[in-house]
Amino acid sequence: MAEQPLSGKVLVVVGGTTGLGLSAARAFLAAGARGVVVTGRDAGSASAATASLGGSSAAHVGNATDPAHAPGAIALARERFGGFHALYHVAGGSGRRLGDGPLHAITDEGLRGTLQLNLESVILSNRAAVKQFLAQGTGGAVLNMGSVLGWSPSPEFFATHVYAAAKAAIVGFTKSAAGYYAAQNIRLNVLAPALVVTPMSRRAAADERILKFITTKQPLDGGRIGRPDDCDGAAVFLLSDAARFVTGQVLAVDGGWTVSEGQIPVENP
Q: Which residues of 35-53 are buried (b: 16+ CB within 10 A; e: fewer)?
A: bbbbbbbeeebbebbbeeb
Three-class SS of the chain: CCCCCCCCCEEEEECCCCHHHHHHHHHHHHCCCCEEEEEECCHHHHHHHHHHHCCCEEEEECCCCCCCHHHHHHHHHHHHHCCCCEEEECCCCCCHHHCCCCHHHCCHHHHHHHHHHHHHHHHHHHHHHHHHHHHHCCCEEEEEECCHHHCCCCCCCCCCHHHHHHHHHHHHHHHHHHHHHHHHCEEEEEEEECCECCHHHHHHHCCHHHHHHHHHHCCHHHCCCECHHHCHHHHHHHHCHHHCCCCCCEEEECCCHHHCCCCCCCCCC
Contact 171, 123 (CB under 8 A): no
CB neighbourhood size of 139 (10 A): 15
Catalytic residue numbers, as ranges = 163
